[in-house]
Amino acid sequence: MAYQEVTTTGYGTRVGNSFKAIGSGILLFLAGTALLWWNEGRAVKTEKMLDEAGSAYVEMENPEKKDASLEGELICGTALATTEDSLSDAQFGIGAKAISLTRKVEYYQWVEHSQEKKEDKLGGKEVTTTTYTYSKEWVSRPVESAQFKDPAYQNKNMVLTTVEDAEQYAENVSWGAYKLNESLIHSISSREGVDLAISEDLLKQFDQSTKTAYERFYGVQKTQQPAEQPAETVAVSDSAKAVNDSINNAIANAQNKKDFEYIHQASNVLYYGKVPGSPEVGDVRVTFEKVVPAKVTVMAVVDGDTFKPFKAKNGKRFQTLVMGKKSGDEIIEAEKEANNMWTWALRIIGILMVIGGLKGIFGFIETILKVVPFIAGIFGWGIGLVCTIVGVAWSLIVIAIAWLFYRPLLGISLLVLAGFLVWVFAFKGKDKLKELAAKAKEKAAKPAAAPAAAPAETPAE
């Protein structure tokens, strides 16, 4: 059953808070404006840099052999990224010849979720009803349950052990006859699981310490959940369920399985808990992955036997590594699409910040009228609409001025075109309207003359 907490905020407090919000609203408005201006400059500079890189790069036909003529050139080539470095995780006695070695830790915990519902009351008070629900989930860090709102769930969390996430990279990664720099190495994403081979002695140590932690929390003879244990609320997304199923399948079908009472090694997962397929609060799973040699395409400037970023005339730098074989044109096109997506995403964020800032500045008007919620609702809707219209208009003006600043030729051209259209409609439009008015008078006069001549023809008939 969900736990609810009801709080009431007085009219005076609400008005005071709304005036305090003016300062944060101004800051949000200024931050949104600055973001919009900066984003246009970033977009233009990135586009110019990509255009320059697209016209400057040369294809490296054979990365397996150094070519002195390519020194200092922006190249695009495809080769196998590999290494002879051996990486090790000393805490678990795991080692592998790999480009990177990663340890990811997850904890099975009760997680608190909250949902607020606010209601205005006559006289200006606000009643807030907060509903708290709880579910068991795999999370990246232990959850402090002592701070949970529902007393029934307080202190229900524990962990059988604590392990830090870890990631390390090889220092020497070759790419044909060249070496990759650190940034390019970190871009390689050919991950796969590490087949664990943890020693029996170490697993026994883990098992004993885990057993001690388990019995301290659950008791020695625990066979089922305690009577006072809250009922579990199932709240697992499809993607999370797919991950859980894949991990459980890997554990079930692994060839390197080693099972103790509280420790289970299988595939690339080390599991702390009694039953991996049926987790309990406190269980921990550690997943090990490595990045293996793979064919990659590099676009960067040749610098001796390694690479450095391309520096455009406007100072923007660029280097990239993509998986598989790609042409330089494909890479540039993909980067331009990404730049365009980022531009629009940041524009939307900036506009929303500007609108939110304006609502924060003028929100006190609605709050003052909260004495009568119905009237405040009408004014609040109007204030929100005005702030939205003004915010969008202001954002468009900022973007337009930024275009004039960062793209003067295009901006001036647009202004000239706009001025020409205004002149055409303002001046030529008057002459056209006079001409149309004169024609309308002529058409109106002709029908008026026709009825006058009709009676003279009647006697002749």
User: What is the pLDDT at residue 234?
Assistant: 47
**Residue found under tokens 């010849």:** 97
Distance in angstroms (rounded) separating the CA atoms of residues 380 and 358: 13
Note whether residue 89 is domain-resident.
yes
Q: Is the pLDDT of residue 321 over 90?
A: yes
Query: pLDDT (tens digit, 9 = 90+) per residue, 216-225?
Result: 998 875 444 4
Note whether residue 445 is domain-resident.
no
**Residue found under tokens 């609502």:** 359
User: What is the pLDDT at residue 71?
Assistant: 95
CA angle (112, 113, 118) in 5-degree steps: 135
User: What is the pLDDT at residue 231?
Assistant: 46
Q: What is the mean pLDDT of the chain?
A: 85
User: What is the pLDDT at residue 255?
Assistant: 72
Q: Euclidean distance between the first and final Cα of the chain, in Å? A: 100
Q: Residue 135: what residue type?
A: S
Give long-range contacts, CB 8 A cutoff, 24+ apart: 88-95: 89/166, 89/288, 91/163, 92/196, 92/198, 92/202, 92/270, 92/286, 92/288, 93/198, 93/199, 93/202, 94/194, 94/196, 94/197, 94/198, 94/288
The crossing angle, in degrees rounded to 10, of helices 373-406 and 408-423 is 110
Note whether residue 115 is domain-resident.
no
Confidence of residue 424 (pLDDT cuts 50, 70, 90): low
DSSP per residue, 43-70:
HHHHHHHHHHHHHH-EE-S-TTS--GGG
pTM above threshold 0.85: no
The residue ranges of DSSP E strands in 231-316, in sequence order, are 258-259, 263-266, 269-272, 284-291, 294-303, 306-308, 310-311
- The total number of residues shown for the chain amounts to 461
Q: Residue 454: what residue type?
A: A
DSSP per residue, 77-119:
EEEEEEE--EEEETTTTEEEESSEEEEEEEEEEEEEEEEEEEE
Summarize the confidence of residues 4-22 as an average pLDDT: 83
Q: Where are the alpha helices (DSSP H) in 119-237?
A: 182-186, 200-218
Tokens (6 digits) for 64: 């397996």
In 40-50, which positions are buried (b, 16+ CB within 10 angstroms) versus exposed (e)?
bebbbbbbbbb
Query: pLDDT (tens digit, 9 = 90+) per residue, 26-48?
Result: 999 999 999 999 999 999 999 99
Confidence of residue 450 (pLDDT cuts 50, 70, 90): very low
Summarize the confidence of residues 440-459 as an average pLDDT: 52
Distance in angstroms (rounded) separating the CA atoms of residues 36 and 28: 12
Residue 5 near residue 149, CB atoms below 8 Å: yes
Bridge partners (DSSP) of residue 166 are 103
User: What is the pLDDT at residue 423?
Assistant: 65
Note whether residue 91 is domain-resident.
yes
Q: Which domain holds residue 260?
A: 57-109+139-326
Query: pLDDT (tens digit, 9 = 90+) per residue, 87-140?
Result: 999 999 999 999 999 999 999 999 999 999 988 788 878 888 999 999 999 999
Note whether residue 3 is domain-resident.
no
Summarize the confidence of residues 141-161 as an average pLDDT: 94
Distance in angstroms (rounded) separating the CA atoms of residues 135 and 205: 31
Q: Is the pLDDT of residue 433 over 90?
A: no
Summarize the confidence of residues 403-418 as an average pLDDT: 66
User: What is the pLDDT at residue 157?
Assistant: 95
Note whether residue 180 is domain-resident.
yes
Distance in angstroms (rounded) separating the CA atoms of residues 199 and 258: 10
Confidence of residue 339 (pLDDT cuts 50, 70, 90): very high
How many domains are contained in the chain? Answer: 1
Confidence of residue 54 (pLDDT cuts 50, 70, 90): very high
Q: Is the pLDDT of residue 50 over 90?
A: yes
The bridge status of strand 74-83 relative to strand 58-59 is parallel
Distance in angstroms (rounded) separating the CA atoms of residues 327 and 59: 8
Note whether residue 158 is domain-resident.
yes
Summarize the confidence of residues 261-277 as an average pLDDT: 94
- Min mean pLDDT across 176-190, 287-301, 393-407, 442-456 is at 442-456
Distance in angstroms (rounded) separating the CA atoms of residues 269 and 381: 54
Confidence of residue 421 (pLDDT cuts 50, 70, 90): low
